[in-house]
Amino acid sequence: MTERETHDELLTRFELVEMMLKEGRRSTEYWGWTSVLWGTAYLIAIAWTYWSHRPDIAWPVTMTAAVVLTIIVAARKKRTKPQTPAFRAIRGIWTAVGTAIFIFCFAVGASGHFEMHSYFAAVEILLGAANCAVSMVLRWRGQFMIALLWWISAVATCFVAMRLVTPILVFDTLIGFLGFGLYLM
């Protein structure tokens, strides 16, 4: 193989990788609605917790409804394009983190070991991890900034007075879920 052929082959491979990354970003943009849906669900659960006679069921009911809505809408929006490795990686990351958050929240709620600071900090850490992993797969600084937002908020959540935990979560949700989802859409 000549030096020119090797150079052309490397360029072709590089273009393929770039194309896969762009498709991954387009796919992420296509799924921006899920971020808006989950941000809305978080805000509903927060409001229900504070303004209801049954705050104990706010998160389980709201999160279950969000899962069902996500499945229904995703099934209707299913695309016919083949799935790229980047898309499969992103879906795997969010599925794993979403499942981890569900298991954690269910176990903490059912066991009675709920402590607001640690509970929300753990969720913020996991959401930061998912956003960070996706940003690395897609080489996307914007999503990494969302990861930093969740992580900084997790640290802040551990150190603030109880009355400031919810405003931090609301801020995170508005920027990290709703804002970013609307930006993607």
pLDDT in tens, 14-41: 666 666 656 655 555 567 788 889 999 9
What's the whole-number mean pLDDT along residues 167-171?
A: 94
Q: Is the dihedral of CA 107, 158, 122, 94 positive or negative?
A: positive
Residue 10's contacts (CB-CB under 8 Å, 6 or more residues apart) are none
Compute how many other C-beta atoms are within 10 angstroms of the C-beta atom of residue 11. Answer: 10
Taking only the tens place, the pLDDT of each residue in 67-124 is 999 889 878 766 666 677 877 888 899 999 989 998 888 888 778 787 889 989 999 9
- Say what the pTM is: 0.78
Q: 68-94: b or e for each residue (b if 16 or more CB lie within 10 Å)?
A: eebeeeeeeeeeeeeebebbebbeebb
CA distance 185 to 179: 10
Task: For tokens 């949700």, name the residue.
Answer: 173
